[in-house]
Chain A
Amino acid sequence: MPDSGVSRVLRKEDQRFLTGRGHYTDDLNRPGQLHAVFVRSEMAHATVKSVSTDAAKQAPGVVAVFTGQDMADDGVGSLPCGWVVTDKHGEAHKAPPHFPLVRDKVRYVGDHVAVVIAETRAQAADAAELVEVDYEGLDANADPAKALEGAPQIHDEAPGNLCFDWELGDKAAVDEAFSKAHHVSRLELRNNRLIPNALEPRAAIGEYDPGTDEYTLYSTSQNPHLLRLILCAFVLNLPEHKVRIVAPDVGGGFGSKIYCYAEETVCTWASKKLNGKPVKWTAERSESFSSDAHGRDHVTHAELALDENGKFLALKVDTIANLGAYLSSFATAVPTYLYGTLLAGQYKTPAVHCNVRAVFTNTAPVDAYRGAGRPEATYVVERMVERAARDMNMDPAEIRRRNFVQPDEFPYQTPVALTYDSGQYEKALDEALAMIDYKNFGQRRQESERNGKLRGIGLSAYIEACGIAPSQVVGALGAGVGLWESAQVRFNATGSISVFTGSHSHGQGHETTFAQLVADRFGVPVENVDVVHGDTGRIPMGMGTYGSRSLAVGGSAIVRACDKVIEKGKKIAAHLLEASVDDIEFDSGNFRVAGTDKQKSIGEIAFTAYVPHNYPEGVEPGLDETAFYDPANFTYPAGVHIAEVEIDPETGTTRIADWVAVDDFGKVINPMIVEGQVHGGIAQGIGQALLEEGVYDEAGQLVTGSYQDYCMPRADDLPSYRVGMIETPCPHNPVGAKGCGEAGAIAAPPALMNAITDALGTEEISMPATREKVWRIARGRLAQAAE
């Protein structure tokens, strides 16, 4: 396990970003490029009777206008959902077609009706106004809770708007436990719809080369190979070796840039139609709001059964999950295998049952957003646990302590399919309690009360399943792909190292962390290592970055490739040192004959590998190894976050007085980067709990379609965070890492809502706990107190 590599190395990528020399997709311009602007539906639900493009085609600078019919005529397929969920009756989920440009109906505001391609973006935008669409309006529904109750039928293929009705866990055991329970706590929860808002809007340039019949797509993707696979195999029917996808610098993803979207599909296809003219599209922010895949949007009823000592006996969860108008690439996995499987939390609840009905509505498609299913699960479990503690008059820390899986109980088989590998849940709790001075909270509360303020404290002990994922396991559960990762580690002849990874960095700092990993393995300076990612023309096929998988899976592939390099190096060294391979040891950059001072540096070995004048027989020249790593299990990052808030009942303002986090990510390579990931995750979690909500009105219009209406967390909305860490290495991957990217977004919402409900003395407040909602309740409480 690399130990010496752990350090706060400053990021290699920062130089270009700080000096304005990054290359994001919209910064790229191809010779002769044209610009695409999409004609989007302004109706939430309507039959498209006709699309008239004549006037637009005549407009200045316009080169082409395409509709769904043009794509249909060309045999373009539907954007697929890559995970088939089998429902509780053994039936596959309903997968209605999702064409890049609509063919019969529009189903949400922002749906793609036509594309106008012109010499300039302004010309394309002007001409898009001239496309006339004749709609026959239909009733719309945006509310998941109403989708199953006689709401308008959105797809013929999905009667009653039901995509699937799925369950997990032993219902009979749960019912039995409930019948014997000393106490049952109940909660109705709404997990609010979020709009991801990576700061870089999505963008694409499609470019076809008629000379070679090759396509290049520059795209804001978190996973260029996965995108290529979907585009080639399902949508455009192209041979993969003729398609190169470049995802250059990408300005944040948070899940929203995993998917195969209509826009990049259209740009790629249209470039061929236009004889190789590159076609560029960059989203306006309003398009990001209406057509990036959204996150969350669950309605849940949960019940927890307890015995008289506060031990959890069983948990029962019933959820309606909104999938939006169409299935996005991995939409179905999120409210099922990334959600129901996490409902045991950090606890030994012996029986858990979860039922999920996933529904179609007239809203933007919903898919993975930072955490993806796990924040929804953690929100249910941690709100429920806090509620139970309150119901039973127990200390919320104590009730958790009584139910934690203990360090000597791993591997721990949960009742919802997962096998937890390692953890120290109580240790994280104790450290977090100490950091926030939990035992003196009462004094602080009194102090606040003296100042006319309401103070509350809230805990969240989260767990997530990361390191996605063992291919056989996910295959058995319906995934259409394997979820391994690849790496190629190439020594250059003069000793520098190029690392090619299938992981993709869009803010995570892989160019630094992965370089540290390799530098440490080889005992060379980190400056000698460069990391290449994001270009299918340069890297081995890889599965990309999401689900906090990059270090645990991608890093493991890198370590495996390094080990192959060392194995080969030993053969070369043995030859040069006239020793047996078995006697060669590698340490701190040198191959040494065990027990002697005879040695060769890895640089000398690399040079010899490329200039093999004196070389072992039967060994190939070169020092360049590739490894594919398929994880043995998920990884299980876990930890405790505690929020302390002070509410001003006069204004409804929730001030976050303190925030502590103690996370266990297993092995950490660069603590500075990991802390940054935690900060960012917490900020998004606080955003969900306090500020953010994607709102559609009754007619299916997106009410929060800009930064004026969708409340993004700003610097003055947020506190500083105090981040601590404990380390229980992952026992089954060679890095020992568990993953850190999503933790904050998973842990934060229940911590904050537990604190707010503690301060307000009621559970009856939903996310986001806006100033107005808080003010109404706090005012009521003051009035009560005055009586």
Chain B
Amino acid sequence: MPTVTMTVNGQQVSRDVEPRTLLVQFLREELGLTGTHVGCDTSQCGACVVHVDGTSVKACTALAMQADGSEVTTIEGLANNGELHPMQAAFKEHHGLQCGFCTPGMVMSAVDLLKRNPDPDEDTIRHWLEGNICRCTGYHNIVKAIQHAAKEMRG
């Protein structure tokens, strides 16, 4: 079995994996990072979004081996020393989550959006979230949370 090595949430990890192991399986099953969720089998729900080298990626579509040598950030690695990232804080403040299952993917995806566009309007946010399904919130408060996080992060 080949060995993959990557930095996950700031820590270097190395594991022998079967070549067909998906990144999301690697994170959940090998590393026990179960904050990254699996909501579908067709790469459409976005529950599995993590950052690979700073960019949002659906971890169910990437093989663990493709992330060899990369920096991976999962929802567990987003808060800084126990302090919520402004995006996490905004989701809480604006009730952007209910059951919480889509939430890690939503938050990771939204963080990437603001990196690309620090001041997105509502349409831009809704369009960006096209790849993240939430069955609970109707998206209203998710959009609101992202708008507020953007404002907060622009300072």
Contacts and interface: CB of A to CB of B under 8 A. Distances in A.
Interface of A: 10-11, 13-24, 26-27, 122, 197-201, 249-252, 254, 284-286, 506-509, 672-673, 675-677, 679-684, 706-708, 712-716, 718, 720-721, 744
Interface in B101-146: 101-104, 107, 122-123, 125-127, 129-130, 132-143
6 contacts: A17-B103, A22-B35, A198-B99, A684-B138, A715-B130, A718-B138
A591 B42 CA distance: 60
Given A19-B76, A27-B34, A13 B100 contact: yes
Contacts of B74: 20
B101 A14 contact: no
A315 to B, nearest CB: 31
Contacts of B33: 20
Contacts of B99: 17, 198-200, 249-252, 506-507
Contacts of A20: 33-36, 74-76, 104
| Those 4 A-B pairs whose CB atoms lie nearest each other, nearest first | A20-B35, A17-B100, A251-B101, A683-B138
Given A197-B135, A680-B136, A285 B41 contact: yes
B149 interface: no
Contacts of B132: 715
Contacts of A682: 138
A717 B39 CA distance: 20
A24 B41 contact: no
A725 to B, nearest CB: 15
B134 A21 contact: no
Nearest to B75: A20
A721 B76 contact: no
Given A716-B130, A720-B122, A18 B140 contact: no
Contact of A708 (B42, B88, B103, B139): B42
Contacts of A252: 98-99, 101, 135-136
B8 interface: no
B152 interface: no
A10 B39 contact: no
Contacts of B126: 715-716, 718
Contact of A714 (B95, B133, B141): B133
* Interface size bracket, B side: 35 or more
B135 A199 contact: yes
B133 A707 contact: yes
A445 to B, nearest CB: 24
Given A18-B92, A19-B35, A712-B133, A680 B98 contact: yes
A508 B98 CA distance: 6
B75 A199 contact: no
Contacts of B41: 284-286, 706
Nearest to B127: A716
Interface string B12-49: 00000000100000001000011111111110110100
Given A198-B99, A199-B45, A721-B140, 19 more contacts: A10-B93, A14-B91, A16-B100, A19-B79, A20-B34, A20-B36, A22-B101, A199-B39, A200-B101, A249-B99, A250-B99, A252-B101, A252-B135, A284-B41, A285-B45, A673-B95, A684-B135, A718-B126, A718-B140
B115 to A, nearest CB: 18
A584 to B, nearest CB: 39
B102 to A, nearest CB: 5
Interface of B: 20, 28, 33-42, 44-45, 47, 74-76, 78-79, 84, 88, 91-93, 95, 97-104, 107, 122-123, 125-127, 129-130, 132-143
Given A200-B37, A708-B44, A721-B140, A18 B98 contact: no
A721 B137 CA distance: 11
A439 B142 CA distance: 32
A18 B47 contact: no
Nearest to B94: A672
Contacts of A509: 98
Contacts of A679: 137-141
Contacts of B42: 285, 706-708
Nearest to A283: B41
Given A11-B95, A715-B125, A707 B100 contact: no
Contacts of A714: 129-130, 133, 139
Given A251-B101, A707-B45, A201 B39 contact: yes
A723 to B, nearest CB: 9
A20 B74 CA distance: 8
B34 A199 contact: no
A716 B130 CA distance: 6
B145 to A, nearest CB: 11
Given A199-B99, A673-B95, A716-B130, A707 B44 contact: yes
A677 B99 CA distance: 11
Contacts of A18: 75, 84, 88, 91-92, 97, 100, 103, 107
A251 B40 contact: no
B21 to A, nearest CB: 9
Contacts of A677: 98
Contacts of A673: 95
Instruction: Give the residue among B74, B102, B136 with the most A Cβ atoms within 10 A.
Output: B136
A133 B130 CA distance: 40
A715 B136 CA distance: 12
A199 B35 contact: no
Nearest to B76: A20
Instruction: Give the residue among B20, B93, B100 with the most A Cβ atoms within 10 A.
Output: B100
Contacts of B78: 19
B86 to A, nearest CB: 12
A235 to B, nearest CB: 27
Contact of B40 (A11, A27, A285): A285
Nearest to A198: B135
Contacts of B45: 199, 285, 707
Contacts of A712: 133, 135
A768 to B, nearest CB: 17
Contacts of B75: 18-20
A706 B42 CA distance: 7
Contact of B100 (A249, A254, A286): A249
